[in-house]
A and B are shown apart, each in its own frame.
Chain A
Amino acid sequence: DTAVSQTPKYLVTQMGNDKSIKCEQNLGHDTMYWYKQDSKKFLKIMFSYNNKELIINETVPNRFSPKSPDKAHLNLHINSLELGDSAVYFCASSLSGRREKLFFGSGTQLSVL
C-alpha cells in the first residue's frame, strides 16, 4: 500500500485553466505538506497543515488554495494557471510535525502550456 499517494502523476494543461492535485496518506499522520520542485530541482515548502488547519503558507500566490477535508487528505487547487507554475509538486506527511518521519509522495509533474 502506498503511504502517501498523489493524483494525477502527470498533468498537462493550458494557461488560465484551473486544476487540482489530490493527496492522501494512510499513515495516520496529522501534518501534511505541499512542496514545489522547480526545473532546477530546488525543493521549497508551500503549505503545511496540521489537523486540517493551515500552519504554514510560504508566500505562495493566492491562486494556490490548499484544502484539507480531513487529516488524511490535503488537496491543492490552482486557479488561472501560469507558465511559471510548471513544476513537480510533492505532497508529504509527518506525525506531529516530526521532521525525521517525513514521508513524500511520488510527485505530480505539472506542465502549463
Chain B
Amino acid sequence: AQSVTQPDIHITVSEGASLELRCNYSYGATPYLFWYVQSPGQGLQLLLKYFSGDTLVQGIKGFEAEFKRSQSSFNLRKPSVHWSDAAEYFCAVGPRNSGNTPLVFGKGTRLSVIA
C-alpha cells in the first residue's frame, strides 16, 4: 500500500538557519512526489514537485527538494529560513499513470521559526 512518512511532527529553527524536512515514501514504483505548504487558516499550496529528470528540484519561496530513489526519500530543504516560513508542510505521492488516483499525503511537519 502507498504511504508517506514524515518522521518529524514539529521542528523549530532559528530565523536564518538552514532547514531540512524529511519525507519517506512506500510505493510500488517511483511515484510523482510533491511538497505542499499550509499556512494557518489557509489551504495547501504547492511548493514543488518531482516527476522525472534532475533529482534536485527547485520550488517557490526558495525551497528545494532532492529525490533519492535508493532511500525512497524526498526531503525538503531551504538554506535560510524566514519567519514567514512558519507553517505546516506536507509531503505527498501519486502514481505516474494517468487517471484519477488521488494523492496520498503524509501527516505533516509543523515548522516554527524563532528569532
| CB atoms of A48 and B43 under 8 A apart | no
Decide yes or no whether A102 CB sits under 8 A from chain B. Answer: yes
Q: What is the count of residue pairs linking A and B with beta-carbon distances less than 8 angstroms? A: 57
Name A40's contact: one of B34, B90, B107 (CB within 8 Å): B107
| CB atoms of A100 and B102 under 8 A apart | no
Interface size class of B (residues with CB under 8 A): 20 to 34
Interface size class of A (residues with CB under 8 A): 20 to 34
Q: What residues of B have a CB within 8 angstroms of the CB of A100 in the complex?
A: 32, 34, 46, 49, 51
| CB atoms of A41 and B107 under 8 A apart | yes
Complex formed: what's the CA distance from A82 to B32 in Å? Answer: 35
Q: What residues of B have a CB within 8 angstroms of the CB of A90 in the complex?
A: 43-44
- Report A's interface with B, CB cutoff 8 A: 4, 31, 33, 40-45, 48, 50, 55-56, 90, 92, 96-97, 99-100, 102, 104-107
